[in-house]
């Protein structure tokens, strides 16, 4: 019972679609001079939440209602294909919008890293094996904090330690729920981490 409570808690709080929003919150907190307008910050958070969480989550809900997907957990590899594609559309949309606006390169980097990670998982899911999207998000979060660390105006070291701890808890949670094998969990960490490192070389922050 305790294992399931632990597993569901971390799986829900750190659901992959929320990772871009968490990354944005970190960027705003770590570099307040680059995000000095509270009103603009609020609107930015709402836009990112809607594009990277709201629309994809609503689409998955519709897929469940239409019987294309059995559960919100999307355990089956084949069932993951449509959610990957639809979510990828919204993530590309968000990345392009923020890139064209030129609002802040750190936010564009976060969105690009998330998009790359999503499509890498998609390709691996089709060609090889199911990948843990939760640990992909967790691995990406660690890379994100590392990339933005030098630009932080505050002491971000506790956040980095927290990101590592969260990543460990997320992986443990997915194993506790028997949602993934160890291989799928570790592969998720790698794809998330290196996707965000690749994005940092494409869009310098």
pTM: 0.93
- CA–chain centroid gap for 106, Å, is 15
Residues 188, 205: Cα–Cα separation, whole Å:
24
Dihedral sign for Cα atoms in the order 60, 63, 64, 68: negative
Tens of pLDDT along 38-56?
999 999 999 999 999 999 9
Residues 119, 112: Cα–Cα separation, whole Å:
11
Tens of pLDDT along 103-147?
789 999 999 999 999 999 999 988 888 899 999 999 999 999 999
Confidence of residue 76 (pLDDT cuts 50, 70, 90): low
Q: Where are the beta strands (DSSP E) in 80-125?
A: none
What share of residues in the chain are helix, strand, coil (percent, to 5)?
80, 0, 20
Residues 17, 40: Cα–Cα separation, whole Å:
22
User: Which token pair is 5?
Assistant: 């409570």
| Whole-number Cα distances in Å, 162 to 26, 75, 149, 166, 200 | 12, 28, 13, 6, 21
| Domains in the chain: boundaries | 2-202
Q: Is 80 exceeded by the pLDDT of residue 198?
A: yes
Give phi and psi for 115, each to the nearest 5: -65, -45
User: Which token pair is 156?
Assistant: 């971000």
Tens of pLDDT along 143-194?
999 999 999 999 999 999 999 999 999 999 999 988 889 999 999 999 999 9
User: Which token pair is 110?
Assistant: 């976060």
């Amino acid at each position: 019972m305790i294992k399931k409570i632990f597993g569901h808690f971390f799986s829900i709080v750190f659901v992959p679609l929320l990772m871009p929003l968490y990354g944005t919150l970190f960027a705003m907190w770590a570099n307040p001079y680059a995000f000095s307008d509270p009103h603009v910050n609020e609107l930015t958070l709402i836009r990112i939440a809607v594009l990277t969480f709201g629309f994809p989550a609503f689409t998955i809900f519709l897929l469940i209602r239409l019987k294309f997907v059995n559960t919100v957990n999307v355990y089956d590899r084949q069932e993951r294909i449509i959610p990957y594609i639809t979510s990828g559309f919204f993530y590309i949309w968000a990345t392009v919008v923020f890139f064209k606006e030129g609002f802040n390169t750190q936010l564009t980097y976060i969105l690009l890293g998330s998009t790359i990670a999503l499509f890498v998982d998609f390709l691996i899911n089709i060609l090889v094996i199911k990948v843990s999207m939760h640990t992909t998000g967790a691995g990406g979060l660690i890379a994100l904090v590392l990339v933005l660390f030098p630009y932080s105006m505050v002491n971000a070291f506790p956040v980095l330690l927290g990101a590592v701890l969260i990543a460990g808890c997320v992986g443990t949670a997915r194993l506790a729920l028997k949602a993934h094998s160890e291989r799928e969990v570790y592969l998720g960490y790698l794809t998330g981490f290196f996707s965000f490192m690749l994005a940092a070389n494409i869009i310098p922050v």
